Amino acid sequence: MLTALLRRLAQTLFVLFGISVLVFLVFFATPGADPTARIAGKNASPETMEKVRHEYGFDRPLPVQYATMMKKLFITRDLTSYVDRGEPVVPEIVMAAPVTLSLAAGGAAIWVIASVTMGTVAAAFRGTLIDRGLMILGLIGISLPVFWLGQVANLVTQARYHDTWMFSWVPGLGYIPFSESPTGWFRALIIPWIVLAVLFTGIYGRVLRADLVAASGEDFMRTARAKGLSPARVLLVHGLRTSMITFVSLFGLDFAQLIGGGALLTEVVFGLQGVGRLTYQALSNLDLPLIMASVMYSAVFVVLANAVVDVIYVFLDPRVRDA
């Protein structure tokens, strides 16, 4: 057990290290990419270039640059932005995190409830029009580009129908902190939540239905029916509970990616200053410290979520416990 944990930890650290190296190389060692030129501006004089190069330590060997950056990011936590001079990077991320967390958590709550309902109902009415209709809806959900859906949602709720009773309650684009006004927070986020959840509802609903249908052919489902259980109990207590194993592992990864900045398109469209948007801005400015910090932040979440999923797996599937 302990060796397994240690091995898991080593793997995790290895993946994190790999990501940091990968990001570092992409932005420092891509052929033709010179960070000095970016910071100094397009037509900077050679003297300025030299000054910038020395100031930021770009004249030192790559491993040293990497080590310095990691030290400043994780140990002294005083890494500063290249673009906004002297702006520390870590607090910026701390500021953006609650926005992203609110967005991802609310969206996740919606898509979990919606997709479990959708998948279960479709499986229960397998082969009927209800089933087919729900699956087509799911497929449409998967096919919608989220940034476009966001725009259309804005068009409807902010402009076309904003003056009617239906959407007059929707505040302007942007985030309202929960501590400031819980109802404002909710109203500002409900449309983004739904837009974010549409895609995942489609994916999860379809996956769950497929799993439930596959499970219905299993021997244990026949046993459950032979025991005299009601169809609902067979489907929910035996089928759904067993099928949730795949569902949860998918959920862990997707949720982690969202928290780690994967929701940036939603954030951009709805003007939410979250981690995704922050990362996007950092990328646009090629602000390496900020990129490094946000990507590492995101990777930590993904890797952590992987570990959490493994733990939940153990709870959900007793077979894994003994493996």
Partner 1 sequence: MPDDLPLLEVRDLSVSFRSRGRDVPIVENVSFSVDRQEILGIVGESGSGKSVTAMAIMGLIDAPGVKITGSALFRGQELVGLSQRSFRHLRGREISMIFQDPMTAFTPVYTIGWQIDEQIRVHEAISRTGARARTVQLLGDMGVPDPERTANRYPHQLSGGLRQRAMIAMALSCNPSLLIADEPTTALDVTVQAQILDLLRNLRHNYGSSVLLITHDMGVVAETCDRVMVLYSGRVAERGPAEAVFRQPGHPYTGALLDSIPPLTGPRPERLPSIAGAPPPPLERPSGCAFAPRCHYVHESCMILPSLIAYGTQDVACVLPAEGHPLPPRAAGAA
Partner 2 sequence: MVIKTGSSAVSGVAAGPWRTAGQALVRNRPAMSALAILLLVTFACIMAPFYAHDIAHTDPFTSNVAGSFSLNGQNVDIMQPNDNPLHLGLSPAGPTWHPSAYFLGADSQGRDVAARLLYGGRNSLLISFSAALLCIGMAALVGVLSGFFGGVVDMVLSRLMDIMWAVPVYLFAISLSIVTISQGLKIGPFTVESDNLLIPIVIIALVYVPYAARPVRGRVMTLRNAEFVMAARSLGVPRWRILLVDILPNISATLVVLAPLLTALALLAESALSFLSIGVQAPAASWGTIIQDGEGLIYTRPMVAIAPGLAIVTVVLTLNILGDGLRDALDIRETSRKGS
Does the protein bind partner 1 through residue 41 (CB under 8 A)? no
Please, what is the minimum distance in Å from the beta carbon of residue 94 to partner 1?
Answer: 40
CB 211 within 8 A of CB 250: no
- What is the CA 184 to chain-centroid distance, rounded? 23
Instruction: Kindly tell me which of 40 and 303 has the beta carbon lying closer to partner 2.
Output: 303
Rounded Cα distance between 206 and 226, Å, is: 28
Positions that interact with partner 2 (CB under 8 A): 11, 14-15, 18-19, 22-23, 26-27, 30-33, 38, 139-140, 142-145, 147-149, 151-152, 154-155, 158-159, 210, 214, 217-218, 222, 257-258, 260-262, 264-265, 268, 276, 279-280, 283-284, 286, 291, 295, 298-299, 302-303, 306
Q: Which residues contact 266 (CB under 8 A, 6 or more apart)?
A: 103, 107, 146, 147, 150, 192, 195, 196, 272, 276
Q: Which is nearer to partner 1, 87 or 317 (CB)?
A: 317
The residue among 168 and 230 lying less far from partner 1, judged by its C-beta, is: 230
End-to-end CA distance of the chain: 10
**Minimum gap (Å) between residue 125 Cβ and partner 2:** 18
Residue 233 interacts with partner 1 (CB under 8 A): yes or no? yes
Which of partner 2, partner 1, none sits in contact with 14, Cβ below 5 to 8 A by type? partner 2
Asked if residue 217 binds partner 1 (CB under 8 A), the reply is no
The Cα 254–Cα 159 span in angstroms is 32
Query: CA 245 to CA 129: how far, in whole Å?
Result: 28
Nearer to partner 2, 185 or 259 (CB): 259
Tell which phi-psi region holds residue 271, choosing left (phi > 0), alpha (psi between -120 and 50) or beta.
left
Angle at the Cα of 231 (from 227 to 232), degrees rounded to 5?
Answer: 120
Beta carbon of residue 239, minimum distance to partner 1 (angstroms, whole number): 9
CB under 8 A: which stretch of 2-10, 167-175, 302-310, 311-319 binds partner 1? 311-319
- Tell me if 248 contacts partner 1 by CB under 8 A: no
Among 41, 63, 145, 231, binds partner 1 (CB under 8 A): 231
Contacts 24+ apart (CB under 8 A), 85-90: 89/289, 89/290, 89/293, 90/293
Helix (H, G, I), strand (E, B) or coil at 64: helix
- What is the footprint of partner 1 within residues 87-146 (CB under 8 A)? 127
CB 196 within 8 A of CB 99: no
DSSP-assigned beta bridge partners for residue 88:
80
228 binds partner 1 (CB under 8 A): yes
**Residue ranges that bind partner 1, judged by CB under 8 A:** 127, 218-220, 222-231, 233, 237-238, 241-242, 245, 316-319, 322
